[in-house]
Amino acid sequence: MKTLETLDTIRNANRTVYFLMMRVLKQHVTFLEQCVNDEVINGDNNPDNTVKRFVREIGKTEAEVVIASLINASAWDGRIDKGNAAWAAGVEDAFSEEAAMKLRMTTEIHRTHLNAVATAMRGYK
């Protein structure tokens, strides 16, 4: 898992890369929020469809990193399933809670729905 020390290493090596990474991650989080909102507005409210659309747009590996990082940043919340928290902690390129917060990886997605999205991501084939 990427930690604050990892972020410091990236930032110290190349500030441009660091800030580009921050921007791309925020864009991915915004797109995930859009996917979730579109599903809810359309009455589908199916996390499997949300994950399929998200993966189709940014790729499976990056989708896992984004969702796992958001779960890591929310693992303290009782609405996050322990299985999802353990999965997220095991995603190698995901960011720890502290690193995700430093990168401003926050979301407006309700924690219960985020938990369902993580479950769908874990089951994605």
Alpha-carbon distance of 108 to 123, in angstroms, equals 23
pLDDT band at 42 (very low <50, low <70, confident <90, very high): confident
Taking alpha carbons only, the member of 87, 97, 91 closest to residue 119 is: 87
3-state helix, strand, coil in the chain (%, to 5): 75, 0, 25
Average pLDDT over residues 65-94: 95
Average pLDDT over residues 21-36: 96
- Amino acid identity at 124: Y
Is the model's pLDDT at 75 over the cut of 90?
Answer: no
Q: Are 64 and 94 in contact (CB under 8 A)?
A: yes
Is the model's pLDDT at 99 over the cut of 90?
Answer: yes
pLDDT band at 101 (very low <50, low <70, confident <90, very high): very high
The pLDDT, as a whole number, for residue 125 is 87
The pLDDT, as a whole number, for residue 88 is 97
